[in-house]
Chain A
Amino acid sequence: EVQLVESGGGLVQPGSSLRLYCTTSGGTFGDSGMHWLRQAPGKGPEWVSGISWNNVFINYGDSVKGRFTVSRDNAKNSLYLQMDSLTTEDTALYYCASRREGQGFGIWGRGTMVSVSP
């Protein structure tokens, strides 16, 4: 069974950058779209960004557009999220998740925490 594992989170100051990583355990990304979502403490999930299996379609939520960059390397079964110009509003648990066409987010990682504080 495919499992997703996120890493790269941490505590940073406003204006800083972080790069998040997501890799698979027990399988590959296959032909799934891969997404980043986040969840602030006590809040519901928020979709951040998604990338199609072939890197053709890349989308971002309005709150991160222009600051975050998603990419994937299928040969390495890896998904990345480059986060620049971080603000305190970006503080959340960041998940990577896979989604097949016509379905919801079927596989989630356990998340990596990003804290942005002065």
Chain B
Amino acid sequence: EIVMTQSPATLSVSPGERATLSCRASQSVNRNLAWYQQKVGQAPRLLIYGASTRATGIPARFSGTGSGTEFTLTISSLQSEDFAVYYCQQYDKWPPLTFGGGTTVEIK
């Protein structure tokens, strides 16, 4: 099973600032990685797939980079609606499909 590790667990950022979230895989997942945003009381929403492709309707301030075992999600200028929990997920080698433990982006 591929273990996904996200850091930091919590990120405190001021509105308008940049947020950088990290995700590491226990073995290479090539570029088969997705990022999700989850707000309280809602289902996760797909932001990025293929490590860097934005899903339909996702604003350009969200960008993903990386390949192999190291990935980054960047939110270029945080808006109020971006404060949420973010998860990475690999779909390179499965079953099982595995998620990271999440990064909470909170208002500083």
B18-43 contact mask (Cβ, 8 Å, vs A): 1 or 0: 00000000000000101110000001
B43 contacts A60, C-beta separation under 8 Å: no
Which residues of chain B are within 8 angstroms of A103 by Cβ–Cβ distance?
Answer: 34, 46, 49-50, 91
B34 contacts A61, C-beta separation under 8 Å: no
Whole-angstrom CA separation of A47 from B89 in the bound complex: 10
Give B61-108 interface residues, CB cut-off 8 Å to A.
85, 87, 89, 91, 94-102
Give B48-66 interface residues, CB cut-off 8 Å to A.
48-50, 55
A108 contacts B44, C-beta separation under 8 Å: yes
- A102 lies within 8 A of chain B by Cβ: yes
**Contact sample, A vs B, 16 pairs, CB 8 Å cutoff:** A44-B85, A44-B101, A47-B95, A50-B97, A59-B95, A60-B95, A95-B43, A97-B43, A102-B49, A103-B49, A103-B91, A104-B35, A104-B49, A106-B55, A108-B43, A111-B43
